Amino acid sequence: MAYQIEYAYTCHIGKVRNNNEDNFWCCGESLDSENKGMSHVRSGKIKQKDFPLLAVFDGMGGESCGEMAAFLAAESCGEFYKEKKKEISEYPEEFLNELCFQMNRAVCDYGQENKINSMGTTAAILAFGADQVYSCNLGDSRIYRVSPEGQIHQLSLDHVLGGGRFGKPPLTQYLGIPEESMGLEPTITAQEAVIGTRYLICSDGITDMLTDSEIAAVLAREVPVAETAELLVEQALQKGGRDNITVILCELAEQEQNWFRKLLS
């Protein structure tokens, strides 16, 4: 099926934190290692046949380690994507697994070289095949699918240790796990590509502030993805904005015909 992806993305530092530990990769765009987020929502569209890839990273670690981990993941994601992107259509799950290992290696190598014992980042990724949409995640940054009828479903798996007594429970999977200590096991799903379906990738700056039903209510509105993404951020800020907020929202749409094909039809 020929289709295109209409997307919008933004990153907000929030109302409490002084630094931004979030980053992303969205059709070639990402943030520097030191940044204060973005001032506005950006949007665009891309054809599926161009093998688009969308990803959100939420870094963690003392001092500036979180920012650096998220930046390294985004940088490594971009490098691997540019080299291997055509494999998305042929071997999508293998592509996503190898991408995670490459990003993990980049974060681990930096930590070892700089004698940093604790740094890491979540990863939540979408890749688009001809007939399937693939999700991949490590950690608690989430991926949601909203059907054309407005039904919301979480595609990602929260990799967290249950029963945390103080604050948020620790992550059981993330980028920055030394290969010799435990296995990296990304959660990968595949679902049919359906026109009108929306996908949301977000950091916990959204999901800690808004319930699934609140998120679904925003995503189900029949307004452009850029306006919807902006509204999600506004609502998270109104609820307190306690963490950095990153949103990538996309919708599958019928591919626009070029002028020559329109003439023929």
The pLDDT tens digits of the residues spanning 24-81 come to 999 999 999 999 999 999 999 999 999 999 999 999 987 679 999 999 999 999 999 9
44, with CB counted inside 10 A (0-12, 13-18, 19+), is middle
| Residue 249 Cα to chain centre, angstroms | 9
CATH fold group of domain 3-264: Phosphatase 2c; domain 1 (3.60.40)
Q: What is the pTM of this model?
A: 0.95
Strand, coil or helix: 84: helix
Question: Could you give the CA distance from residue 87 to residue 171 in angstroms, rounded to a whole number?
Answer: 30
Residue with tokens 């390294």: 72
What are the pLDDT digits (tens) for 82-107? 999 999 989 999 999 999 999 999 99
What are the pLDDT digits (tens) for 209-257? 999 999 999 999 999 999 999 999 999 999 999 999 999 999 999 997 7
